[in-house]
Homo-oligomer: A and B are copies of this chain.
Amino acid sequence: MQKIAGGVTAAKGFYATGIAAGIKKSGKDMAMVYSEAACRVAGTFTTNLVKAAPVKWDQKIVKGLPVTEQEPEKAGSRDGADGMCAGNDQTAHVVVVNSGVANACTGAEGYGYCRDTAARAAELFGIRENQVLVASTGVIGQQVPIAKICAGIETMKPLLSESEEGGTLAAEAIMTTDTVKKEVAVQLELGGKTVTIGGMCKGSGMIHPNMCTMLSFITTDANISQPLLQKALSASVPDTYNMVSVDGDTSTNDTCLVLANGLAGNLEITEENADYAAFFEALNEVNTCLAKKMAADGEGATAMFEVKVIGAESKAQAVTISKSVVSSSLVKAMIYGHDANCGRILCAMGYSGAQFDPEKVDVWFESAVGKLKIIENGVPTDYSEELATKILSESAVTAIADIKMGNAEATAWGCDLTYDYIKINADYRS
């Protein structure tokens, strides 16, 4: 496996673009990803009880359910957060994304706009409504300007491009408070064929994914059955997007979609063989990379903050502790202040809910300039404050906690908490 340039257009047969459709006051706000070849599709979605209309729409498509009924599943159901069901023959060709308005808390009217969006794209591309995936991100509680969206679809169709630039335009158009576009692509060999996986995501605030991230779109030309595509995605998400927290707020719109059009021509992956393992590894790399990009671009962030818990009894324990530390407002403010106020790390571990012996914990800070043990057996070491400050002043900082109970570990990603986070979120709508 190797990293290559590009994003959602890196894999064979995928076209993309992004435009300013007038939904936001300024800048690009609509993106489209298209494959002429039918794609198998897998997805994971928010577990928030309050699900945006596009999440409900896409869930039905991923599961192969009819999309026409407005509220077919029980309102407020957490069921079917991902598409991990029996394989289905459902395929998709297009993803239409808008930023600016989230189409969440918009009732039946909002769901109707998803259908209107899909109907317009279906008509233009000569496909079925249920082959159009829809995603939105932005302000909650406002209806989307459907006329602008339908006009945007028409504008985008002739602009679709297989080039790297097409993918970049799309990656830029899905940004809200993001400050940088987030793309990645990798290639691997499967049975002598070159398979490519590319992706883009957005996410900066309201980021505390639970089953998936804000919005992430992965395209691949791999030939893989839908159940295994979903299996690979569902297995990767808990260790990647779900380990990111910017502010503890699990969004109503979290969506991760993978489209696979099979154009690489590899022998179809239909079982968990070596090809599946290689595909999973590559997909997981794409997801890890995108997840870290989101953490680093957390709203207002000046530093990416990584928390590794090692020596755990179980993976679940390591996950609980690492997420508690990476989510702590006090720890995050400390990272911003480059201040090794190490007790806050132990404190956040202690209220995580996981069981461990605080008096056996060792903690290190690490960054590009060095590594320093700051707590040994639960008590601060006689470390150099000067070196600690130097380590904490880098743009990527890691805290490592060894709880000395076993061999399991987990890594969580977040960012520091800064004045700009407040600024962005106190004035978000203005």
Instruction: Using CB atoms and an 8 Å cutoff, list the residues of chain A in contact with chain B.
Output: 47-51, 75-76, 78, 102, 104-107, 109, 139-142, 205-206, 208, 210, 247-252, 327-330, 333-334, 336-337, 339, 341-344, 346-352, 354-359, 375, 377-380, 417-419, 421-430
Contact = CB atoms under 8 A, between A and B. Distances in A.
Given A347-B48, A351-B210, A334 B104 contact: no
Contacts of A334: 425-426, 428
B75 A330 contact: no
A82 to B, nearest CB: 16
A16 to B, nearest CB: 28
Contacts of A380: 105, 141-142
A351 B47 contact: yes
Contact of A347 (B104, B357, B423): B104
B339 A429 contact: yes
Contact of A426 (B142, B337, B351, B423): B337
A379 B107 contact: yes
A355 B76 contact: yes
B351 A249 contact: yes
A354 B76 CA distance: 10
B248 A140 contact: no
A359 B104 contact: no
29 contacts: A48-B351, A49-B351, A49-B354, A50-B349, A50-B358, A76-B355, A78-B355, A102-B343, A104-B346, A105-B342, A105-B378, A105-B379, A139-B341, A140-B342, A141-B342, A141-B346, A141-B375, A205-B330, A210-B351, A249-B347, A250-B347, A251-B347, A329-B421, A333-B422, A337-B426, A339-B426, A339-B429, A417-B422, A418-B422
A329 B105 contact: no
A379 B140 contact: no
A347 B107 contact: no
A287 to B, nearest CB: 21
Contacts of A339: 426-430
Given A329-B329, A425-B333, A426-B339, A75 B105 contact: no
A37 B354 CA distance: 42
A74 to B, nearest CB: 9
Contacts of A356: 49, 76
Nearest to A380: B141
B75 A358 contact: yes
A250 B350 CA distance: 9
Given A250-B350, A333-B422, 14 more contacts: A48-B350, A50-B347, A76-B356, A76-B358, A105-B346, A142-B343, A248-B248, A249-B351, A330-B425, A337-B425, A337-B426, A339-B428, A418-B422, A422-B422
Contacts of A109: 379
A348 B359 CA distance: 35
A329 B377 contact: no
Contacts of A76: 355-359
A342 to B, nearest CB: 5
A206 B355 CA distance: 21
Contacts of A249: 328-330, 344, 347-348, 351
B429 A341 contact: yes
Contacts of A355: 49, 76, 78
B140 A344 contact: yes
Residue from the set A250, A333, A380 with the largest chain B CB neighbour count within 10 Å: A333
Contacts of A418: 422
A347 B206 contact: yes
B341 A140 contact: yes
B248 A341 contact: no
Contacts of A350: 48-51, 250, 252
